[in-house]
Amino acid sequence: MQNKKHVLGVDIGATLVKVGLVEKGGKIVSKTSFLTKKFVSKKAFIKRLIEEIGQVIKNNRRAKGNLSGIGIGIPGTVDYSKGIVHNLTNIKGWKEVPLKKILRKFFKTPVFIDNDANAFACGQLKWGACRGAKNAICVTLGSGIGGGLIIEGGVYRGSNYSAGEIGHICIDINGPGCGCGSKGCMEAFVGNKYIINRVIKQIKEGRKTSLVDMVGGKLQKITPELLTKAAKNGDKFSIEIWKETGTYLGIGLSGLVNVLNPERIIIGGGISKAGKFIFTPLKKELVRRTMNQHLKALKVMRANFVDEAGITGAASLVIENK
Amino acid sequence: MQNKKHVLGVDIGATLVKVGLVEKGGKIVSKTSFLTKKFVSKKAFIKRLIEEIGQVIKNNRRAKGNLSGIGIGIPGTVDYSKGIVHNLTNIKGWKEVPLKKILRKFFKTPVFIDNDANAFACGQLKWGACRGAKNAICVTLGSGIGGGLIIEGGVYRGSNYSAGEIGHICIDINGPGCGCGSKGCMEAFVGNKYIINRVIKQIKEGRKTSLVDMVGGKLQKITPELLTKAAKNGDKFSIEIWKETGTYLGIGLSGLVNVLNPERIIIGGGISKAGKFIFTPLKKELVRRTMNQHLKALKVMRANFVDEAGITGAASLVIENK
């Protein structure tokens, strides 16, 4: 970071945009957020984004003249080198937007834009659980499965910056349809929506669970958080659902371990808060299915920064380029 | 290769050891081979290997004083940096053999040892279909599925030199057992043995095919070569088996393309001689299952050197280190 000690990280989520000022070591010293969905037009969204970034900088006297760049994580596909965001769900008219150019012109500081999973992996590598690793698979579990690959000590982005889509490996030829257009993808077993769909389906088929009372019979109100709460209270059905989910994840990841021979798997994202309920079956399946030599090199770890991993990840994109 | 213009490549196969003298551009100028299985002891095998290598060098006046090294491809796990071969099927007592040290001492020339799939990938990168590619997946289809990854312009070997086991990604949760101990691996659908087992099973279940007459009713004599021959003659069953095989391969590879975002897939090995019968369904499945952005970057190509790809690949390991 040379002499400039602060970096700005922007985590654009499907529902919330988080902006944070990050200092050495990944510590967030100031942050704010606003709702993504409120903005329907591209223009209004970019205007608000610039205002919020400006506000965070203004609010921190230490940041003035001391900002080494802005890093942005996007839930979509990005041309990393040009800083063009191909698509951004929820924002009307968003197509091939040169966000890097726009922000660089306004803030007169270097700007780096990548998809959120790569940003997450970069943050874990620079400041988090992935530090010191040569090769790793970084996973964010949420509405989708994000993947960021660390290869030979750096973020690996692939031939047109699209690498890391680990949710879209097929683990079941006869599996359910996936949002990507394929069938039986790991995401179609482990993504938020699919877990909840499985839960609701089984409850409707007559499975008994304390979840029903927890949501007053309104099944569409069931969330992964409630599923974890129920599991902690000993609800057998919820424990079983997490076990299934961890197993599916282990099936997919074991294949990737056989291919990539990483020394670490880093797991983050909302779903990872299920803790041992998902980690125990995941590790068991990895042991069961991974080849011996590969297993010897491997450690499975939880990500650092939890809910802030998006901001620190985005900020780390600036550090990556120093 | 500096001034020394020749490299020696040794392709240790499960049944045959091939030794070849290779010159600039990957051209084999002299070669020999011997049966792997004939040698039961480790000591006898190494003795014969040294004799055969020595003979090839002796027979080529041009090679004398002009050899820049020996490269060896092994069908097993290898510590690439130390040149220790962990295991070698068919050779009695083979365990943790420092083959690099032994050969280097004898021939007084640099020696490089890797598993055969990495050697294959290296050969395709230096001299074959993979030339100029930054990121690629190289596949050899035979009794097993070998995989060699090209990442950022070089062979990627992983954290303990075990990367590339692309045959051992699970494509079917409920799939058949695999030799690796897991279930539903791609290899359990696309490996030689599994294809033939599927053929025999379906014939026994009453499927009609000209294959039966081709082997005089001795089903165990059916080979992938005969399956291709029958397909070329219009045998519907054989065409269907290749179509299934190509589809399974496409299912597994589409996931890896989503993860690695390579610009090329290079397919070699005996099974690839089925040509369009396997390539057409493979490409179709890749298009059906791969994400758009990833598909844009991708080309599927047949490997160069065919039956010699093992020798040229092994030889290229020396070039890689120049």
Q: B194: helix, coil or strand?
A: helix
Q: What is the CATH number of domain B133-303?
A: 3.30.420.40
Domain coordinates in residue numbering, chain B: 6-125+308-320, 133-303
Dihedral (CA of B168, B172, B173, B179) sign: negative
Name the token pair of A143. Answer: 């509405």
Kindly tell me if the per-residue pLDDT of B87 is higher than 90: no
Superfamily of segment(s) A132-303: ATPase, nucleotide binding domain (3.30.420.40)
Among chain A residues, CA nearest to B285: A182
Could you check whether A6-124+308-320 and A132-303 share the same CATH topology?
yes
What is the rounded CA–CA span in Å between residue A38 and residue A17?
11
Level-2 CATH architecture, domain A6-124+308-320: 2-Layer Sandwich (3.30)
Beta-bridge partner residues of B7? B22
Q: What is the mean pLDDT of residues B26-44?
A: 87
For B15, B195, B205, B229, the CA distances from B226, given in Å and listed in that order, are 20, 12, 20, 5
B41: contact with A, CB 8 A cutoff: no
**For the residues of A9-67, what is the DSSP string, one character each?**
EEEE-SSEEEEEEEEGGGEEEEEEEEESTT--BHHHHHHHHHHHHHHHHHT-GGGTT-E
Closest CB to B134 among A86, A159, A293: A159
Nearest one of B61, B51, B43, B66 to B17, comparing CA atoms: B51
Q: Which of A81-90, A164-173, A249-258, B146-155 has the lowest mean pLDDT?
A: A81-90
What mean pLDDT value characterizes chain A?
A: 94
Task: Band the pLDDT of A3: cuts 50, 70, 90.
Answer: low
Report residue B209 CA to chain centroid gap: 30
- Burial tier of A106 (Cβ tally within 10 Å: 0-12, 13-18, 19+): middle
Q: How many residues does chain B have?
A: 322
Kindly tell me if the per-residue pLDDT of B2 is higher than 60: no
Query: Are B158 and A260 within 8 A, CB to CB?
Result: yes
Kindly tell me if the per-residue pLDDT of A293 is higher than 60: yes
Query: Are A159 and B261 within 8 A, CB to CB?
Result: yes
Name the token pair of B250. Answer: 């496409």
Q: CATH topology for B6-125+308-320?
A: Nucleotidyltransferase; domain 5 (3.30.420)
Kindly tell me if the per-residue pLDDT of B63 is higher than 80: no
Dihedral (CA of A105, A110, A115, A120) sign: negative
Residue A156 has φ and ψ, to the nearest 5°, of: -100, 125
Residues 210-269 of B with CB under 8 A from A: 248, 251-252, 254-256, 258-263
What is the rounded CA–CA span in Å between residue A164 and residue A118?
8
Among chain B residues, CA nearest to A174: B172
pLDDT of residue B1: 40
| Share of chain A residues as helix, strand and coil, in percent rounded to the nearest 5 | 45, 25, 30
pLDDT of residue B5: 84
Closest CB to B173 among A162, A169, A172: A172
Q: B155: helix, coil or strand?
A: strand
- Percentage of chain B surpassing pLDDT 70? 98
ipTM (interface pTM): 0.96
What is the rounded CA–CA span in Å between residue B107 and residue B87?
23
- Quickly tell me which residue has 């910056």 as its tokens: A161
Helix residue ranges, H only, chain B: 42-58, 99-107, 116-127, 187-190, 192-204, 211-214, 224-232, 236-260, 276-289, 292-297, 309-320
Closest CB to A168 among B258, B263, B297: B258
